[in-house]
Amino acid sequence: MVKVNMLTYIAVVIVQLVYTGQSLFSKASVNEGMKTSIFVVYQQAFATIALAPFAYFLERKMAPPITFRLFGKMLFIAVFGITLNLNFYYSAMKYASATFAIAMTNTIPPMVFIMAVLLRLERLEIRRIHGKAKVLGCVICVSGAMVFTFFKGPAMYSIGKGTNDAHSSSSHTHPQENWMKGLLLMLGATLTWSFWINMQAAIQKEYPAKLRFTTIQCCISSVVTAIAAAAMERKLSYWELGWNINLMSLLYCGILVGAVTFSLQIWVIGKKGPVFTAMFSPLSLVTTAILSALIFREILHWGSVLGGALLVAGLYCFLWGKNRETKAVEAIEIKNQIILSKENGVLECITTVCPPANDEPLKKKVVVL
């Protein structure tokens, strides 16, 4: 149990580090003129190709049959949760910097938390200290995202020639209306991604084969986006790939993001629930800000530092509350679910310990003479 718990923490850290690379590589491709819809088609196609062999051979025996109703749910989640999300996200890259984009994704934790509470996937005991800590953590995260987005403050270092503002594109400073487009597109991306994270927990109960589930979603997303992209981008030159940054970005986003991180996220959601997974998104902010400053020569401001500090503080406040809640639930279950029985003159006390969300209960037997 302890080993699995530690692996979930390692997995979400890896996911956030990979997402850091996604924001940087996709920003580079957009700057080179790559069409966002075509980028999504290739990314999801590469992810499907990378996952398909593992999904087939590793989950042949455990994969249940896919009913028409179940396929309809997968189609809806893939289109609304992945296809729209990626198109919104990459389109926003035209109007915003990589640091701004990754900062806006930190609105995902409160969105996921609110959705999870409404869908009854997450407990909210506002009168208990852990419930207050979880709510406070989400409020601090939102505050940090707002500070990062709307408050610049003085620059952290002197401005050199060719250096760009982290709140604008890396190529040039966009007018106010374009900046607002980037903001609205990123809000759309975070909303659809929050929906996707919550829906994973629900559908895994019907279809536990996680690799196949991820592969099917990537395949659906690629096909749907290809149909839309073919109607909008009819020039064959837009679809050509060469040995350049575009191909490198697609391989990174397709294999590492689409195949590896999607699978890891679905696994962690199954073990820890959707909110736990989302709360680690602030970790990618610091690395993205540093790398963006080095690669795209973006200016970092003290307002960004303050916003980032609030985001991280909100993360740890929520995790503290989540940890306290888990211990409280375990204590209640141990107290209330004691079963006494007599077998051959021996009184057995069987306690059922409630682990984190979606894990199987662990039974401990204590023999009392």
Helix axes 302-336, 108-118, angle to 10 degrees: 30
- Provide the whole-model pTM: 0.72
Is residue 235 domain-shared with residue 341, that is, in the same domain? Answer: no
Query: Is 136:334 a contact under the CB 8 Å cutoff?
Result: no
Q: How far apart are CA 343 and CA 334, in angstroms?
A: 21
Is residue 287 domain-shared with residue 139, that is, in the same domain? Answer: yes
Is residue 329 domain-shared with residue 349, that is, in the same domain? Answer: no
Residue 45's contacts (CB-CB under 8 Å, 6 or more residues apart) are 222, 226, 254
Is residue 221 domain-shared with residue 303, that is, in the same domain? Answer: yes
Is residue 56 domain-shared with residue 159, that is, in the same domain? Answer: yes
Residue 273, phi-psi category: left (phi > 0), alpha (psi -120 to 50), beta (remainder): left
**Token code pair at residue 224:** 């749907």
One-letter amino acid of 316:
Y
Is residue 247 domain-shared with residue 366, that is, in the same domain? Answer: no
Model pLDDT, residue 52: 92
Model pLDDT, residue 215: 92
Distances (CA, A) of 316 to 2, 112, 210, 287, 339: 20, 16, 28, 18, 37
**Token code pair at residue 32:** 């080179």
Is residue 347 domain-shared with residue 321, that is, in the same domain? Answer: no
End-to-end CA, the chain: 29
Query: Is 133:320 a contact under the CB 8 Å cutoff?
Result: yes
DSSP structure class, residue 346:
E
The residues that bridge with 364 in the sheet, in sequence order, are 351
Helix axes 176-203, 108-118, angle to 10 degrees: 40
For the chain, the domain total comes to 2
Model pLDDT, residue 174: 47
Is residue 244 domain-shared with residue 354, that is, in the same domain? Answer: no
**Token code pair at residue 92:** 């926003």
Closest listed residue to residue 12, CA positions, set 200, 195, 188, 271: 271
Residue 246's contacts (CB-CB under 8 Å, 6 or more residues apart) are 29, 32, 34, 39
Is residue 306 domain-shared with residue 354, that is, in the same domain? Answer: no
- What domain range includes position 174? 2-334
Model pLDDT, residue 176: 56
Q: How far apart are CA 95 and CA 178, in angstroms?
A: 6
Residue 328, phi-psi category: left (phi > 0), alpha (psi -120 to 50), beta (remainder): alpha
Model pLDDT, residue 175: 53
Q: Which pLDDT tens digits describe the chain residue by residue (369 residues)?
A: 556 778 888 888 888 888 888 888 888 888 888 888 999 999 999 999 999 999 888 888 788 888 899 999 999 999 988 899 999 988 888 887 766 777 777 777 778 888 888 887 777 778 888 888 888 888 887 788 778 767 777 777 665 555 555 554 444 444 556 777 888 888 899 899 888 888 887 787 888 888 898 899 999 999 999 999 998 888 888 888 888 888 999 999 899 888 888 888 888 887 877 777 777 776 777 677 777 677 766 677 787 778 878 877 887 788 788 778 777 777 776 766 555 444 445 444 444 444 444 444 444 444 444
Q: How far apart are CA 80 and CA 84, in angstroms?
A: 5
One-letter amino acid of 43:
Q
CB-side neighbour CA atoms (13 Å) of 143: 13
Q: How far apart are CA 37 and CA 327, in angstroms?
A: 45
Model pLDDT, residue 364: 46
Is residue 328 domain-shared with residue 341, that is, in the same domain? Answer: no
Is residue 236 domain-shared with residue 367, that is, in the same domain? Answer: no
Using DSSP, state whether 44 is helix, strand or coil: helix
Is residue 112 domain-shared with residue 158, that is, in the same domain? Answer: yes
